[in-house]
Chains A and B, each alone.
Chain A
């Protein structure tokens, strides 16, 4: 593969590229799911191809192919340069990249148990046991469980002389019990909704989740939701569980700090950001206890945004985003960092596969833990609602106005978790909300969640991102907003 990559670089440079980089990417996927006592999906796929990005006449071009022959590689590299020259027909200025060093390295993400070596029958057996445990609870009308494994091998070469080989293994698993009754559909998921928990590790992720042990509780909650009261509408203090805090970070911090949005290049689709450049270092994003980092380094944990180098060959970094409530950093690329006068990219360029260009994507955007025990936080709350597990999420195209729903809630009265509430929802304006945060639980309650399905770009790219979070309290939030009165 290295020969093909070198050939592509050479062809691009010979054709006039002033900069080029090549990624050869191989991906293997396995997806297993069960539904109501049967294997539902058993499928595996592999993909191998090469993408080349080139600057010629001061503009970008990109071409990709999965035909790995010398003739096709030459044709594809030449096409990337030709496309770059076409881009130059409508350019306003030449592309400038922030400086970067030549890097030659090899990195493999830790993976204790290769998920592809675990027999499919073992995986399906566990999923079917979970399925049976869910359906053992009367009232559960649909049980769905899944496991999702991915291995990504990537060789990156650039005309700077960089040569980086990386291997990552990702594992995800989860389930949902659905109950239909009385013209109402209620669901409970474990350990998170929309596929469960995902990390850049091996099958040990599945083993640590105790999927089976949690199934009876999850199923009982799905059924019990039919009989409980609707989440009230009004202003309440809320405590969010760590997975919901993770999605709140994703939508209302992770996306607005993407510098390509800020600079307008996502305006037609994913949208822009309220975090215009004059706010850097000046905006009070959250309360004094809010500290957020974008951390791709393995030291942060095995998140879906963990890597040694991004897809421009920039080392993974820990970038402070919010420090003591103050907005201090963006996610950037070599091009966008230079555009706002920064000397180096934050190392956040990531591509879905060989046939997509890298875009600025979240790495692991995490809220650093606080000091509270969850029990103490509930005891400290006189009149509030505890909300758990995301059910719906939406935010405007500049990332101000958000609304979330969760699968389940509990009223908190006089410092005690009281009656169950169904259909909880809350909404607000991003900076008002983060400034209302007055308590964050400690490292003991902190989980590095994986969001495997973040969409961005045209053509659309799906990317996995990581979000470390602990339960947190937010004061005087509008709740019950999703249900019209």
Chain B
């Protein structure tokens, strides 16, 4: 059963009872999560878990440490408080450590649905059976997941701050496999009735069927149309670079580039937890309210995000993007919204003389941290476009591409949508058409 605010407050009162630190913060959370996994047209894994946790941050004499447990009985709470304090005392003081924030006001976000929390394994299994039937109609093999769950997250501190957030999640993803090809589609939502498993199955099946017997193309620079999931998984590698601390420590690709026009005129990004298609809590890892933050406007790096400690060190204002302390990273924008336009993927295809349509990427890794060169592979539906039409599937390709350069070569954007991938957290992003995307080698399928 999910944590209630009242139960969280009860636990925190025990934390305060046992903590003798100068300042004490507690993060109390619960998770209820179920996942049905299918492959080879059958369910092969089906799991459920219930868990809770308490994490105590103690500050004493300018020193700070954290101890966590999933045991919420009184002796364990006491032991965790003592553990955090003991660890804090054993380290050198942290220069200019800020006091914890006091009470804050939060804007409400409604992201918890009882229908999602109550989804049964029988409903998930029946949905999977329908998706398998769709696969078998065209002699395809289906694999995927149908997951649902609920979580609650409370953050309290001894200066009177109290924050509480509940959220549900649901996820459906499907891969359809043919003898020489595959297709993939995925959706997530806090409200499971918004998922469209059969439409996703249809999309994945169509991609698998239309990319049968893929042909080789020579590596090189091509115009590409990146479906939203493909763009999302690339953009995920840029998120940490907008941290004020990362720029200060010169580990960000935006070092020396803040205030400059780094990307194309048609690229604008903001962090906006309040966007109706976004998910997450309206407060950060210290309980500071999250602010909407434009980070790129018409290609110019406009703002970075700041945790309280970073902001103090750098003379900036905290933006509500701090991670739970202590951490090495500082802060990060985790609710990215990219502005789009009104082009559709079909229109992008029609306007392309020669190019590629990419469904998603796989195993993306950073090759060069300052040029922001990324490498990775295409996967599950890559198509050759010629004279405005999709002609055939192509064997998968490896790319080595600077993300910074790529975002200066965007020719068209679709309406942004809630998007899920497999290598980044969810964002609201469009499909994009990009010129001169660099593919460096091919694989065998």
Q: Please choose the segment from B84-92, B98-106, B158-166 that sits at the chain A interface, where 4 or more of its residues have CB less than 8 A away.
A: B84-92
Number of residues from A at the complex interface, CB < 8 A: 86
A118 CB to closest chain B CB, in angstroms? 11
- B173 closest partner in A (C-beta): A268
A175 to chain B, nearest CB (A): 12
Docked-complex contact B377 and A397, CB < 8 angstroms: yes
- Cα separation A263 to B42 with both chains bound (whole Å): 13
> Which chain B residue lies CB-closest to A64?
B49
Are B92 and A396 within 8 A (Cβ)? no
Q: Cα distance A263–B44 when bound, in Å?
A: 12
Chain A residue contacts of B401, Cβ below 8 A: 484
Q: Is the CB of B51 within 8 A of A357?
A: no
In the complex, how many angstroms separate the beta carbon of A383 from the nearest chain B beta carbon? 23
Contact (Cβ within 8 A) A396 B377: yes
Given contacts A83-B46, A90-B132, contact A392 B126 (CB under 8 A): no
A41 interface residue, CB < 8 Å from B? yes
Known contacts A86-B125, A268-B173, A396-B396; A47 and B69 CB within 8 A of each other? yes
* CB-based contact A484/B44 at 8 Å: no
Chain B 160-196 interface 0/1 with A at a Cβ cutoff of 8 Å (1 = within): 0000000000000111010000101000000000000
Task: Give the chain A neighbours of B379 by CB distance below 8 A.
Answer: 271, 396-397
Within the assembled complex, what's the spacing in Å between the Cα atoms of A61 and B251?
Answer: 45
Nearest-CB residue, chain A, relative to B122: A86
- Report Cα–Cα, A373/B143, bound state, in Å: 48
Q: Give chain B residues whose Cβ lies under 8 Å from the Cβ of A185.
A: 250-251, 368-370
Select A41's contact among B92, B328, B368, B376, beta carbons within 8 Å.
Answer: B328
The answer to whether A86 and B46 touch (CB under 8 A), given A43-B326, A48-B71, A264-B39, is yes
Tell me, rounded to whole Å, the shortest Cβ–Cβ distance linking A82 to chain B. 7
Q: Find out whether the CB atom of A84 lies under 8 angstroms from the CB atom of B46.
A: yes
Is there an interface contact between B251 and A142, defined as CB atoms closer than 8 Å?
yes
* Secondary structure class of chain B's binding surface, majority of residues: strand
Whether the pair B35, A458 counts as a contact (CB closer than 8 A) is yes
Separation in Å of the A432 CB from the closest CB of chain B?
Answer: 11
A465 within 8 A of B: no
Which of B40, B377, B444 sits near A92, CB closer than 8 Å? Answer: B40
Given contacts A42-B91, A66-B71, A183-B370, whether A267 and B175 have CB atoms under 8 Å apart is: yes
Q: In the bound complex, how far is the Cα of B445 from the Cα of A400, in angstroms?
A: 9
Minimum distance in angstroms from A389 CB to a CB of chain B: 15
Report if A258 contacts B (CB, 8 A): no
Q: Which of A30-38, A304-312, A413-421, A468-476 contacts B (4 or more CB under 8 A)?
A: A30-38
* B121 at the binding interface (Cβ < 8 Å): yes
B47 & A40 in contact (Cβ 8 Å cutoff): no
Say whether B150 faces chain A, with CB atoms less than 8 Å apart: no
Q: Which chain B residues numbered 63 to 87 have a C-beta less than 8 Å away from chain A?
A: 63-71, 83-84, 87
Which of A119-127, A153-161, A283-291 makes up part of the contact surface?
A119-127
Q: Which of A103-111, A294-302, A422-430 lies at the binding interface?
A: A422-430
B37 within 8 A of A: yes
- Closest Cβ of chain A: how far from B338's Cβ, in Å? 24
A401 near B377: Cβ-Cβ < 8 Å: yes
A33 touches B328 (CB 8 A): yes
Q: Which of the residues B34, B52, B145, B443 comes within 8 Å of A458, measured between beta carbons? A: B145
Residue of A nearest to B144 (CB): A268
Q: Mark B132-143, 1 if CB is under 8 A from A, else 0.
A: 100000000101
A197 to B25, alpha carbons, bound, how many Å?
33
Q: What's the Cα separation between A99 and B370 when bound, in Å?
A: 54
A89 touches B122 (CB 8 A): yes
List B contacts of A59 (CB < 8 A): 43, 46
Given contacts A60-B44, A185-B250, A185-B370, contact A42 B65 (CB under 8 A): yes
Q: Is the CB of B141 within 8 A of A46?
A: no
Within the complex, the shortest CB–CB distance from A403 to chain B, in Å, comes to: 5
Supposing A47-B70, A394-B365, A397-B379 touch, asked if A90 and B438 sit within 8 A by C-beta, the answer is: no
Q: Binary interface profile of A, 3-42, with partner B (CB < 8 Å = 1, else 0)?
A: 0000000000000000000000000000001011011111
In the complex, which of the residues B45, B63, B441 has the most CB atoms of chain A within 10 Å of its own CB atom? B45
Which residues of the other chain, A, contact B365 by a CB distance below 8 angstroms?
A: 392-394
CA of A41 to CA of B401, assembled, Å: 34
User: Which residues of A lie under 8 Å from residue B368 when comparing CB positions?
Assistant: 185, 423, 482-483
Contact A180 B250 (CB under 8 A): yes
Contact across chains for B46 and A87 when beta carbons are under 8 A apart: yes
10 further A-B pairs in the complex, CB-CB below 8 A; given A90-B126, A482-B375: A44-B65, A45-B67, A46-B71, A51-B49, A62-B46, A86-B120, A87-B36, A396-B398, A401-B398, A484-B400
30 pairs of residues in contact across A and B, judged by CB atoms under 8 Å: A39-B326, A43-B87, A43-B326, A44-B83, A46-B69, A47-B70, A59-B46, A66-B51, A66-B52, A67-B50, A83-B48, A86-B43, A119-B90, A121-B90, A144-B328, A185-B368, A264-B141, A266-B39, A267-B39, A267-B175, A268-B144, A268-B173, A395-B363, A396-B362, A396-B398, A396-B443, A397-B379, A425-B367, A429-B443, A484-B401
